[in-house]
């Protein structure tokens, strides 16, 4: 075990060149189009939590979105965009609309995961209201990987 750990720590960290290229592009575009800072308020409107787990990974030292100027913020009043995940449930509808209304304009809604758009693996039930908040950009997948989310954010920023 000690030998294995020693070997692991001595190995140089492999850089994923393709991912690094995308990260650099994202950093440049955030700098150009959002003055170097893009703040996101994440709202889970009724997900299975897998999309959140993937989004959380974006803050780890590997994907490190903070370094590119993308921040997850606690207050919608500090946000530029809402990142919406999950089916829109009756219980989360008012909170989600309230959150959207509190984001200062100009503002955008980016939806993560298939179930925001078309219920995905869920079926329509009395607990599901359906989303009528205007979505500006969809990131598909169930769940999308952190890499897919970076691709989706890059697409969104390129459109701006």
Binding site for ligand SF4 (CB under 6 A): 47-48, 50-51, 85-86, 113-115, 120-121, 142-143
Q: Which is nearer to ligand SF4, 113 or 152 (CB)?
A: 113
- Residue 38 C-beta: closest distance to ligand SF4, Å: 22
- Residue 110 C-beta: closest distance to ligand SF4, Å: 14
89 DSSP β-pair partners: 128
Residue 43 host element (H or E):
strand 38-46
Q: State the CB neighbour count (10 A cutoff) for residue 7.
A: 9
Terminal Cα distance for the chain, rounded: 50
**Minimal CB distance residue for ligand SF4:** 113
Pairing of strands 137-139, 70-72: unpaired
Q: Which is nearer to ligand SF4, 20 or 53 (CB)?
A: 53
């Amino acid at each position: 075990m000690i030998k294995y750990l020693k070997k692991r720590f001595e190995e140089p960290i492999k850089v994923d060149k393709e991912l690094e290229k995308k990260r650099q592009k994202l950093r440049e575009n955030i700098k150009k189009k959002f003055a170097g800072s893009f703040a996101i308020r994440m709202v889970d409107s009724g997900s299975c939590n897998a999309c959140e787990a993937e989004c959380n990974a974006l803050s780890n030292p590997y994907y490190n979105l903070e370094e590119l100027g993308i921040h997850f913020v606690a207050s919608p009043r500090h946000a530029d965009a809402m990142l919406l995940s999950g089916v829109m449930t009756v219980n989360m509808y008012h909170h989600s609309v309230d959150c959207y209304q509190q984001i200062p304009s100009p503002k955008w809604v980016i939806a993560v995961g298939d179930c925001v758009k078309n219920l995905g693996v869920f079926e329509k039930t009395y607990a599901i209201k359906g989303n009528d908040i205007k979505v500006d950009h969809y990131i598909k997948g169930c769940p999308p990987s952190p890499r897919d989310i970076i691709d989706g954010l890059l697409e969104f920023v390129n459109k701006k």
